[in-house]
A and B are shown apart, each in its own frame.
Chain A
Amino acid sequence: MPTIWLILIVLAVAAAGYAAGRGRALRGVGGEGRSLHSTPAYHGANVAMKSAGPALLLLAVWLAAQPVYVNGIVSAMIPDSAVRDGTSLELTLAEVRRTARGLDLAVEKGLMDEEFARDAGVDPADMTARLRDSGAVVTSAVTAPVLEAARKFRALDAAGGRFMAAAVVAAAVLGALWGIGQARKGFRARNVVERGIEAALIAAASIAILTTLGIVLSLLFNTVEFFGLYPAHEFFFGTSWAPSFSGRGGSSELGVPPLLWGTLYISLVALLVAVPIGLFSAIYLSEYAGSGVRSVAKPMLEVLAGIPTIVYGLFALLTVGPLLVDVFGEGGLLGVSWQGGGRSVMTAGLVMGVMLIPFVSSLSDDIIRAVPRAMRDGSYGLGATRSETIKRVVLPAALPGIVGAVLLAASRAIGETMIVVLGAGAAARLSLNPFEAMTTVTAKIVSQLTGDSDFASPEALVAFALGMTLFVITLALNVFALYIVRNYREQYE
């Protein structure tokens, strides 16, 4: 039975349980809802919770556990001799699963009956041919052990599915009966439901946290694996980035400094653009602009934040790059020839700066407006002008928050990918000239993983080490920013 049907059945049981629990609670007091401890709806909800909760949980656990169990049994059946040379047990198991699915498909299409699929006496070569006819993806020739394992796999899988359906439905029904039994006058259904809701919320929070943890761990394991293949000191201190794609390892130079330098340089240019412009527009919006101007200007600034970064990337590539070449390039307006091509640190940095403006301005605007009005009044009351008040009272009071906003913008800049892929170039270089093309950590992660890459080679695994490096940097920035912002919050309390 497909899992979706199972879920629907559980939900139907829960819904019926809701109605039954509600009805029973009401009947128990002769329709006098008031003499119940909890309203009838809570009794109903208690039933629904007790039937759907455990049943769905059981379903989830079963779905996760069954393949592990089946794989364990099936892999024990495969003799070492059945594992083809140069492959692993893992790959053979995949073959078993493919074969099993092929059998399913063939039966479904009517090319063989169930009897035949299960028949141990069938010749593997014959079976291979039939499977291929049915359109299943099979390896050159299905061997006898694999076929046998596949049969076992199918049998176990089918039996597991039946048991699972029975167990889940039973759990739902038993839970419902339990809840219905509780629906009596004095039962505190409301408190029980409250605890159930709390449990559901905790589950949601844990999923978010566990997922993050999972991502970090996967990064970590792959990074460790990478450092097993490539010396860590060369990664951290090597000044050259030259991965080779022909051979496996050996000739590659995978030093992160040129990439980090590109990342930091471009981020610096971006912040030099975004921080002054963003901060000044925030000051204008919060202190000078009338409510009319503000109601138009603020949303318009925020539209900038809604533009997809790939569009910014195109803008960098097609507009800003050529423009910069016209000004700073050979035969350009300034008569200098600093910039060779459209792609450069400047191109990416300027465009990224524009992207970050709404970040800085929107956060700073909120922070500046959070400075209490009484603070400004105090300053005006002493005969200070508007700009004196901003400079001496408002900005110092808002400064920690603004620093937090800038740090958040910085971590955005460091993690930005599309703009640098399109605007900064692909050459890893340690250079001070901002008109030269450079590349960043993110751009190299993209290029190391696009195309056909062998995930066991250091050239591909380095992507995880790069990701880890970025993660550590942005995490540190974010923690620092949050720390500053939090300290700032306490100030007016």
Chain B
Amino acid sequence: MPEPDVEAGEVKISARDVQVFYGDNHAIKDVTVDIPDKAVTAFIGPSGCGKSTFLRCLNRMNDTIDSARVEGDILIDGENIYDRGIDPVQLRAKVGMVFQKPNPFPKSVYENVAYGPRIHGLAANKAELDEIVEKSLRGGAIWDEVKDRLDAPGTGLSGGQQQRLCIARAIATEPEVLLMDEPCSALDPIATAQVEDLIERLRGNYSVVIVTHSMQQAARVSQRTAFFHLGDLVEYGATDDIFVNPGDERTEKYISGRIG
């Protein structure tokens, strides 16, 4: 197991010996990792290796899957999020998530973004809410496309627009950690560049974890990279090191396109 490296900033999330089971399927095996604050961490690995599963551990979304069982400790700001005293609802307000498949609510674009701020009471009045919505939509690089149709249903947008709407929705609650599961999988190069810009900006204040299948994207946006293979965390370290000088044969094969 590689030594935890905290050079990129303070440790925000620290996972110790995490195991995840779906029934009898051991999907995450013994993962120990320290995710820094104010930095972007990329999870890469072949399909089905457990990237999404591990990501969902970080805001306890696995609680909503009946068959899923999580063992080990995950600490955010030194606090174990699997403690009894922790309310997963509060945790998720702090640890936002963008899902692999875009899932806008069947409501208007505006209501989609206003959803989080409303339930958490982040806006005192309509004007403030309008402001939050606009800021988030700009952050999600979709403002220009939807500013004239804020009342149109979010489900009526194109796939890429929906994905950016979901990003805007996630950042509207101003989380401290943002988990993004393949946020650019349905985006064209222009929107991808905009989302990458956004990630770059978010890095100033948040800890961002991104799952991606694009090596280039991981290299471009992240400071640290974790490579998963069949539920194991094979290698974790500074992105430059991993891509230039992979320590494990499997990592090397994967990033050069020979397994996966």
B96: chain A residues at CB < 8 Å are 381-382
Bound state CA distance, A136 and B77, in angstroms? 101
* In the assembled complex, B99 has its CB within 8 A of some CB on chain A: yes
B104: chain A residues at CB < 8 Å are 378
Minimum CB distance partner of A374 in chain B: B103
A382: chain B residues at CB < 8 Å are 92-93, 96, 115-116, 119, 169-170, 173
Judge whether A384 and B106 touch: CB under 8 Å: no
Counted as pairs of residues, one from A and one from B, with CB atoms less than 8 Å apart, the total is 68
Judge whether A383 and B89 touch: CB under 8 Å: yes
Segment of A152-160, A172-180, A388-396, A454-462 engaged in the interface with chain B: A388-396
Judge whether A383 and B166 touch: CB under 8 Å: no
A376: chain B residues at CB < 8 Å are 64
Judge whether A380 and B107 touch: CB under 8 Å: no
Cβ distance A367 to chain B, nearest Cβ, rounded Å? 13
B173: chain A residues at CB < 8 Å are 382-383
Contact with B along A379-422 (1 / 0, CB 8 A): 11111110010001100110000000000000000000000000
Judge whether B64 and A392 touch: CB under 8 Å: no
Judge whether A375 and B105 touch: CB under 8 Å: yes
Interface residues on A, range: 20 to 34
* In the assembled complex, B66 has its CB within 8 A of some CB on chain A: yes
Judge whether B170 and A381 touch: CB under 8 Å: yes
* In the assembled complex, B198 has its CB within 8 A of some CB on chain A: no
Contact with B along A356-383 (1 / 0, CB 8 A): 0000000000000000101111111111
Judge whether B99 and A374 touch: CB under 8 Å: yes
Interface residues on B, range: 20 to 34
Bound state CA distance, A280 and B166, in angstroms? 30
* In the assembled complex, B90 has its CB within 8 A of some CB on chain A: yes
Bound state CA distance, A379 and B101, in angstroms? 14
Bound state CA distance, A375 and B116, in angstroms? 14
Minimum CB distance partner of A493 in chain B: B155
A397: chain B residues at CB < 8 Å are 105-106
Judge whether B106 and A491 touch: CB under 8 Å: yes
Interface members, chain B 100-127 (any A CB < 8 Å): 101, 103-107, 115-116, 119-120
Bound state CA distance, A382 and B166, in angstroms? 10
* In the assembled complex, B207 has its CB within 8 A of some CB on chain A: no
Judge whether A383 and B99 touch: CB under 8 Å: no
Judge whether A377 and B120 touch: CB under 8 Å: no
Judge whether A492 and B105 touch: CB under 8 Å: no
A372: chain B residues at CB < 8 Å are 103
Cβ distance A197 to chain B, nearest Cβ, rounded Å? 40
Judge whether A383 and B106 touch: CB under 8 Å: no
A392: chain B residues at CB < 8 Å are 115, 119
Bound state CA distance, A486 and B59, in angstroms? 37
Judge whether A379 and B66 touch: CB under 8 Å: no
Judge whether A396 and B92 touch: CB under 8 Å: no
Bound state CA distance, A392 and B169, in angstroms? 15
Judge whether B106 and A377 touch: CB under 8 Å: no
Q: Given A372-B103, A374-B103, A382-B92 in contact, is the A492-B155 Cβ separation under 8 Å?
A: yes
Cβ distance B93 to chain A, nearest Cβ, rounded Å? 3
Q: Which residues of A contact B (CB under 8 A)?
A: 290-291, 372, 374-385, 388, 392-393, 396-397, 491-492
Q: Which residues of B contact A (CB under 8 A)?
A: 59, 61, 64, 66, 89-94, 96-97, 99, 101, 103-107, 115-116, 119-120, 155, 166, 169-170, 173
Sample (18) of A-B pairs whose CB atoms are under 8 Å apart? A290-B66, A291-B66, A375-B106, A377-B103, A378-B99, A378-B103, A380-B61, A380-B64, A381-B97, A382-B169, A383-B90, A383-B92, A383-B94, A383-B173, A384-B89, A384-B115, A491-B106, A492-B155
Given contacts A382-B169, A383-B91, 4 further A-B contacts (CB under 8 A): A374-B101, A381-B99, A383-B119, A393-B105
Nearest 3 interchain pairs by C-beta: A383-B93, A374-B103, A383-B92
